[in-house]
Amino acid sequence: MTMAGGRRGLVAPQNTFLENIVRRSNDTNFVLGNAQIVDWPIVYSNDGFCKLSGYHRAEVMQKSSTCSFMYGELTDKDTIDKVRQTFENYEMNSFEILMYKKNSWGKFARLTRALTSSRGVLQQLAPSVQKGENVHKHSRLAEVLQLGSEILPQYKQEAPKTPPHIILHYCVFKTTWDWIILILTFYTAILVPYNVSFKTKQNNVAWLVVDSIVDVIFLVDIVLNFHTTFVGPAGEVISDPKLIRMNYLKTWFVIDLLSCLPYDVINAFENVDEGISSLFSSLKVVRLLRLGRVARKLDHYIEYGAAVLVLLVCVFGLAAHWLACIWYSIGDYEVINEDTNTIRTESWLYQLGESIGTPYRFNTTGSGKWEGGPSKDSVYISSLYFTMTSLTSVGFGNIAPTTDGEKIFAVAMMMIGSLLYATIFGNVTTIFQQMYANTNRYHEMLNSVRDFLKLYQVPRGLSERVMDYIVSTWSMSRGIDTEKVLQICPKDMRADICVHLNRKVFKEHPAFRLASDGCLRALAMEFQTVHCAPGDLIYHAGESVDSLCFVVSGSLEVIQDDEVVAILGKGDVFGDVFWKESTLAQSCANVRALTYCDLHVIKREALQKVLEFYTAFSHSFSRNLILTYNLRKRVRTFIFNIGILQIIKRLSL
């Protein structure tokens, strides 16, 4: 159950082209090229292709999509010509061609099947190709990418999409449904203790129908939870059905299942044994575990003071209700001594019956037991009155504990009452101040930004980008000022934290493997973490390239002359080799975020300062760090169609 007001997750329109390609290709090894540029340069290579071919991704980028750099002496010349003609004529063909791994020119790899394709041609030829006689011989790519209208995802910004049977946790329907479940949960929390304590048997058809409907609704809620998105630990919206099911099974499924069993239906039958009936009545208490889900959602309402106050008062009232039910159960158990079949005249139940004119009486002619007494309504109201007066004060004495059991319970209730009273009523102001500290800062920042945008009449599109960036950045950082926290720590501790924050960069890139501990600490202190929203430009064409950027998550596109020349993802590096150049470079392309991205960036001056001090590391770094895309270099472009080269069979020596 995801309550209204919970996190929506990061839902701004994103370009998930790269993620969709990788997901649909499964374990297939491929390179992605752009046929709008001369020689159809490779703009993306997946890890599997790099592993099999022996080439680093940076070595593959910008080379021809025909993979001519993998041709050797025994590669068939006619097949090479056919591959090139396929690209030039925008066709889809399948070939057996011999290619070589890196550093294996003395030995040749086994024949590898390569298939080239064009977006427009694939969509037009897919139906006819699927009807061919020999499709099964050359259809590995077709199986992987499922040739048809969905052959390639559209390369555009789009809102997060979910499968048809998956419900967004923040949609209007789910929000309304969650409020219904919340109301029914409180209904259950009130009725279950009452029915168990007062031993009511649901013979009333109307109440039995209502409770059965509640059980059905809880059952439907279980089904919906198996098809509802949730927010992952990184703030992303998880819509994968398998992950949703596993997450629900590991969290609230068992409790939800136990809470929707039809205990009342079983308990309603007249011929059910009293012991079994009491057992099923007691099992209904399991439904109260659903309140745990409500408690976990209360943090989503901390920015609404009125809502928090109402919820706290409801909790106080609910506690009083539960204690009233327990108070009656103790009195009902002790008012009549079953062993001697006598009644305790000092009991508060006996005194209540005498005062309202419904006393207990002994049936001498029939059952020989005590009968009568106050009605259940009167008893419940009196019990609630006693618990309320005990929780909020010391009581008035008109209803007082007399037996040892009642006195022990009264003492425990007074202790609980003092804690509840102090927590809920005495410290409400303090609680609000603590809860609102971060929220107030967040809203003050948002209001300042809105006023700024309105004052300077910033265009609507740019305003939306600014607001989305602020909201997404806050969602990722939880409003924590990293720099402020680091300034509190001593230098040594600050360096350790920085190394931890940049551990992904240091572990993934071989250029840092030979760095000493002191060198890594010096580098880590200079790195900055940059969060980018979809559509943000990290570099503009003509801008000075004064930083080296490492992609930790998300995907970006490199655009030159309105053409995509590279797609960068996790593990890629872009910028300039300014440790080898004496002049500051100008960017020849734009670098724009396609999705929410996290970049670890180090400035030119800071990197050069570290390299000058650690000379041994400087040589290793210069030799091993390979830029995935060098913004200093410019590529030639002209118009064709987007193409994709698929390498299917594994290469081997």
**Three-class DSSP labels, 459-508:** CHHHHHHHHHHHHHHHHHHCCCCHHHHHHHCCHHHHHHHHHHHCHHHHHH
pLDDT in tens, 97-111: 888 888 765 444 443
pLDDT attached to residue 434: 65
pLDDT of residue 610: 93
**Please, what is the average pLDDT of the chain?**
78
Residues 498 and 211: their CA atoms lie apart, in Å, by: 57
- Are 215 and 261 contacting, i.e. CB atoms less than 8 angstroms apart? yes
CB 212 within 8 A of CB 265: yes
CA distance 153 to 168: 21
Q: For the ranges 102-111, 209-218, 603-612, which has the lowest average pLDDT?
A: 102-111
Distance, CA of 177 to CA of 2 (rounded, Å): 9
Q: β-strands 556-560, 590-593: how paired?
A: antiparallel
Please return the burial class of 116, using the count of CB atoms within 10 Å of its CB with bins 0-12, 13-18 and 19+: buried
Mark residue 186 as left, alpha or beta (left: phi above 0; alpha: psi -120 to 50; beta: remaining).
alpha
* CB-count exposure of residue 131 (10 Å: 0-12, 13-18, 19+): exposed
List the one residue out of 600, 603, 613 whose CA is nearest residue 570: 600
- Say what the pLDDT of residue 556 is: 94
Q: Is the pLDDT of residue 642 over 60?
A: no
Record the tokens describing residue 76, joined without a space.
């068939």
CA 151 to chain centre: 28
Q: Which residues pair with 548 in a beta bridge?
A: 602
Most confident of 119-133, 170-184, 396-410, 535-549: 535-549
Among 259-273, 415-429, 579-593, where is mean pLDDT lowest? Answer: 259-273
pLDDT at residue number 362: 79
**Amino acid sitting at position 402:** T
Is residue 598 within 8 A of residue 554, CB to CB? The reply is yes
Average pLDDT over residues 7-29: 71
Q: Are 322 and 377 in contact (CB under 8 A)?
A: no
Contact 554, 571 (CB under 8 A): no
Tell me how far apart the alpha carbons of residues 622 and 122 are, in angstroms, rounded to a whole number: 43
Residue among 548, 572, 551 nearest 622 (CA)? 548
- pLDDT class of 165 with cuts at 50, 70, 90: confident
pTM, whole model, 2 decimals?
0.56
Question: Which pLDDT band holds residue 312 (cuts at 50, 70, 90)?
Answer: confident
CA separation, residue 34 to residues 141, 158, 382 (Å)? 18, 21, 80
What was the pLDDT predicted at 605? 92
Query: What is the per-residue pLDDT across 458-491, written as a single tens digit (0 to 9) for each?
Result: 998 888 888 888 887 787 777 777 788 888 889 8
Strand ranges, E, within 119-244: 230-231, 237-238
In terms of pLDDT, which residue wins out, 372 or 243? 243
CB-based contact 618:587 (threshold 8 Å): no
pLDDT digits (tens, 9 = 90+) for 66-117: 888 888 888 889 999 988 888 888 888 888 888 888 876 544 444 344 444 4
Residue 110 pLDDT: 44
